[in-house]
A and B are shown apart, each in its own frame.
Chain A
């Protein structure tokens, strides 16, 4: 394995643009792909897993599926539910920072990062964070890496917090128009109900409850709705997480897929195209050929932001632009981790 690290280092020290790649499952995401591929999949394997300490450490190229099956054997999970989108690796999952249906309640990928080993743009191996839950020594660089789209360095290893598999689950379904569904999701999230995930689409609200059996039984009684059979429910949430249901996987003729990240209480937005709402109202997907600038303005007005998630014209940038002061901080961070602009240039912002 140390040969692999040396190979990575010599590639990096060539100071030519590199496109960091694991399973390539998120090649569609972010700015245009540039640079020669550096494939992490040969650098793979779980290094340590301590179920009773709730920590797993793995090399970046380890398939997410391998990690999840190791966890499942001990009845544990990654509660942030990063999508596989095919053959995702754990390094790619952390670099992209995308979280699944349980995110609003359970937290994001970043929330579960405990530590990383990183190779910076000068080939140095750096360790930030560690394998323990509480660690405030130094700036929290390991969580900065989550969602940085590989622009700050090559992730070599990651340590993540894991959680027990919920003891029990139930899925409920309600016929509700968007405004009432948004209101219900927000109200229930403020009550001691074991809410785990929500999804609204086509006037149907689907709720997932996770927790102790007693709590699930009590919540089902309190909330009402129609109980969905367990196997159907499992398929529904998996298809949502993997974006393989009809809304996401349907023909591209409806236009590109936009992701709107908004305050959960944002009222229904009149947008040209079908919407799917997750995360209690905080994540809204839109299929439609819309004007990027006006969509960004709508999102910003509501206190959020819009990103071109899949498909479409990336020339205007994929993510909402930053204020000049914030861009300056970003540039300086990039400069210090990757002074020669080796890692994934343009993948996050065209400026770097």
Chain B
């Protein structure tokens, strides 16, 4: 893979006078333990969840308070050194991959929940607080933080803001965007701004919409206020199996047409089902072409009503087996497989790449058929996990990096899937972000003029292009390289 391509360069940098001067400046504003510069200390920060890309930065800063963050930014701003903010490093698109000759700004020490206000239903937290920790702290009040990305045990709210993270319940409860009220943000020049408020809106442009999902390119989150949601009394899930993905897709459409927004609506194809059944023994139907999980939550009466309606619709649309969870343990067991889909696939292949396109659901069968054709063409297996309610498809391309050329084949296969998503009117990324992984495919989805606007938006916050440069928005040269393959717009 492409790991460590930059280590030689970094080693030479030890004596680099610019680096020495930067380290001296940082040492003046940070306690000694909050500044890492030895290669072995930098190593744990060389990549995020996308391990195929890595680089050693010049330094890692671990500030402990707002003043230190601002001071680090000012030092880097003055020296025009790039800064990459980092939460838990669970991101899947390389958004936190270090920039060589740059500084990684870790928010790991910002772990305090500053306030839970049960009456106002909000939590004010530091960016390094883990997603699930907010729900844990709110639980005594019957409240929780709704977005639940599958990395929620480890990922931080700062990272969630950067990526606009979703989760399996976002069709009903929204994305990070819909659940964040306010951010305190440090700009690259050290200015601290407040965006949003504890009211429901703010005068002026909706800068929260820009900040959330900005992949760490506009500012560094110092504090976030998130909405807390009343915890539903109860939840139940129906598991249905189908002979074709078309029938499963039709069943999803029928549920939504009937006026139901299920709390969760997830699909897995045969290969994914087999992988997870082997891993968690949830009792999935292994002969089915597709498995559908449909969850209802709310009061007991509400759930009973919704489950009954959904069951009828699933049967009418050709479900050949229907199982309704009869206990919380059983519900969690049915979900365990879906939630463990990525690691389960990881067990049956040395390496895999997770794609993240969103497509209009009506094109599901076309897209899956095309993916099967590509799978044969590239000689690589591909399992599919689908957030069926909102059209977010995760094809998991399996490969073995030890076989020469196979990584390149997997990357090429993945690129085809992303282009296919755009062709049918969708997007290259539904929830994982562009990062460095999909930066070239941005040239497929956006025109030169649209990409220019993205650069202008960045410049409105960070005129010197120092925050997480090179991520998410390609430069024209990326696109001209990509255009040679005939794909860019």
CB of A331, distance to nearest CB on chain B (Å): 8
B430 and A132 form a contact (CB under 8 A)? yes
A143 and B206 form a contact (CB under 8 A)? yes
Assess whether A64 is interfacial by the CB under 8 Å rule: no
A–B Cβ pairs within 8 angstroms, 28 of them:
A51-B256, A53-B253, A53-B256, A53-B360, A75-B259, A111-B174, A126-B453, A131-B360, A134-B358, A136-B430, A137-B434, A138-B445, A139-B454, A140-B164, A141-B210, A143-B206, A164-B256, A183-B119, A186-B120, A192-B230, A192-B231, A194-B302, A215-B301, A215-B302, A263-B120, A264-B120, A282-B200, A283-B200
B362 and A138 form a contact (CB under 8 A)? no
Assess whether B24 is interfacial by the CB under 8 Å rule: no
Residue of B nearest to A74 (CB): B257
Tally of contact residues, B, Cβ under 8 A: 100
Which of B120, B141, B201, B430 lies in contact with A134, CB distance below 8 A?
A: B430
Instruction: Kindly list 10 other residue pairs between chains A and B, CB separation below 8 angstroms, not including A136-B431, A138-B451, A212-B306.
Output: A50-B362, A53-B361, A133-B358, A133-B430, A135-B426, A138-B442, A140-B213, A148-B206, A262-B199, A337-B456
B178 and A191 form a contact (CB under 8 A)? no
Which of B206, B305, B387 lies in contact with A110, CB distance below 8 A?
A: B206
Distance, CA A150 to CA B120, complexed state (A): 32
Chain B residues within an 8 Å CB radius of A321: 203
Distance, CA A262 to CA B203, complexed state (A): 12
Assess whether A323 is interfacial by the CB under 8 Å rule: yes
Chain A residues within an 8 Å CB radius of B171: 133
CB of B275, distance to nearest CB on chain A (Å): 24
B118 and A190 form a contact (CB under 8 A)? yes
List the 5 shortest-distance A-B pairs measured between CB atoms, nearest first.
A214-B301, A336-B456, A164-B259, A143-B209, A332-B460
Chain B residues within an 8 Å CB radius of A164: 256, 258-261
Q: Which B248-307 residues have C-beta < 8 A from chain A?
A: 252-254, 256-261, 298-299, 301-302, 304-306
Which of A55, A75, A138, A152 lies in contact with B434, CB distance below 8 A?
A: A138
Segment with Cβ contacts to B, from A84-92, A172-180, A236-244, A300-308: A300-308
Distance, CA A262 to CA B473, complexed state (A): 36
B453 and A337 form a contact (CB under 8 A)? yes
Assess whether A211 is interfacial by the CB under 8 Å rule: yes
Assess whether B446 is interfacial by the CB under 8 Å rule: yes
A107 and B199 form a contact (CB under 8 A)? no
Distance, CA A120 to CA B361, complexed state (A): 31
A132 and B457 form a contact (CB under 8 A)? no
Assess whether B9 is interfacial by the CB under 8 Å rule: no
User: When each residue 67-81 of chain A gets 1 if its CB lies under 8 Å from chain B and 0 otherwise, what string results?
Assistant: 000000011000000
Distance, CA A131 to CA B425, complexed state (A): 7
Q: Which B170-198 residues have C-beta < 8 A from chain A?
A: 170-171, 174-175, 177-178, 187, 191-195, 197-198
Assess whether B142 is interfacial by the CB under 8 Å rule: yes
State the A residues within 8 Å of B (CB): 50-55, 74-75, 97, 103-104, 107-108, 110-111, 120, 124, 126-128, 130-141, 143-144, 146-148, 152, 163-165, 167, 183, 186-187, 189-194, 211-215, 217-218, 261-265, 279, 282-283, 303-305, 307, 319-323, 325-326, 329-330, 332-333, 336-337, 348-349
Chain B residues within an 8 Å CB radius of A148: 205-206
B453 and A336 form a contact (CB under 8 A)? yes
B200 and A104 form a contact (CB under 8 A)? yes
Distance, CA A50 to CA B362, complexed state (A): 9
A108 and B299 form a contact (CB under 8 A)? no
Which of B163, B206, B261 lies in contact with A146, CB distance below 8 A?
A: B206
A134 and B301 form a contact (CB under 8 A)? no
Chain B residues within an 8 Å CB radius of A130: 425-427
Assess whether B428 is interfacial by the CB under 8 Å rule: yes
Chain A residues within an 8 Å CB radius of B454: 138-139, 141
User: When each residue 318-334 of chain B gets 1 if its CB lies under 8 Å from chain A and 0 otherwise, what string results?
Assistant: 00000000000000000
Assess whether B166 is interfacial by the CB under 8 Å rule: yes
Chain B residues within an 8 Å CB radius of A127: 446-447, 450
Report if A303-B197 is in contact (Cβ < 8 Å); known contacts: A136-B433, A329-B460: yes
Chain B residues within an 8 Å CB radius of A323: 193-194
Distance, CA A193 to CA B231, complexed state (A): 10
Residue of A nearest to B253 (CB): A52
State the B residues within 8 Å of A (CB): 117-121, 141-143, 163-164, 166, 170-171, 174-175, 177-178, 187, 191-195, 197-207, 209-210, 212-214, 218, 228, 230-233, 252-254, 256-261, 298-299, 301-302, 304-306, 358-362, 387, 389-392, 425-434, 438, 442, 445-447, 449-451, 453-454, 456-461, 463, 472-473
Residue of A nearest to B453 (CB): A126
Which of A52, A104, A135, A165 lies in contact with B430, CB distance below 8 A?
A: A135
Chain B residues within an 8 Å CB radius of A192: 142, 230-233, 298-299
CB of A108, distance to nearest CB on chain B (Å): 7
A305 and B230 form a contact (CB under 8 A)? no
CB of A94, distance to nearest CB on chain B (Å): 11
B259 and A134 form a contact (CB under 8 A)? no
Chain A residues within an 8 Å CB radius of B450: 126-128, 138
Which of B305, B427, B445, B459 lies in contact with A213, CB distance below 8 A?
A: B305
Which of B170, B200, B258, B428 lies in contact with A137, CB distance below 8 A?
A: B428
Which of A139, A190, A212 lies in contact with B230, CB distance below 8 A?
A: A190
CB of A143, distance to nearest CB on chain B (Å): 4
B200 and A333 form a contact (CB under 8 A)? no
Chain B residues within an 8 Å CB radius of A134: 166, 170, 175, 358, 387, 390-392, 427, 430-431
Which of B199, B259, B362 has most A Cβ within 10 Å? B199
B201 and A261 form a contact (CB under 8 A)? yes
B142 and A191 form a contact (CB under 8 A)? yes
A147 and B472 form a contact (CB under 8 A)? no
Which of A52, A110, A167, A190 lies in contact with B142, CB distance below 8 A?
A: A190
Residue of B nearest to A317 (CB): B203
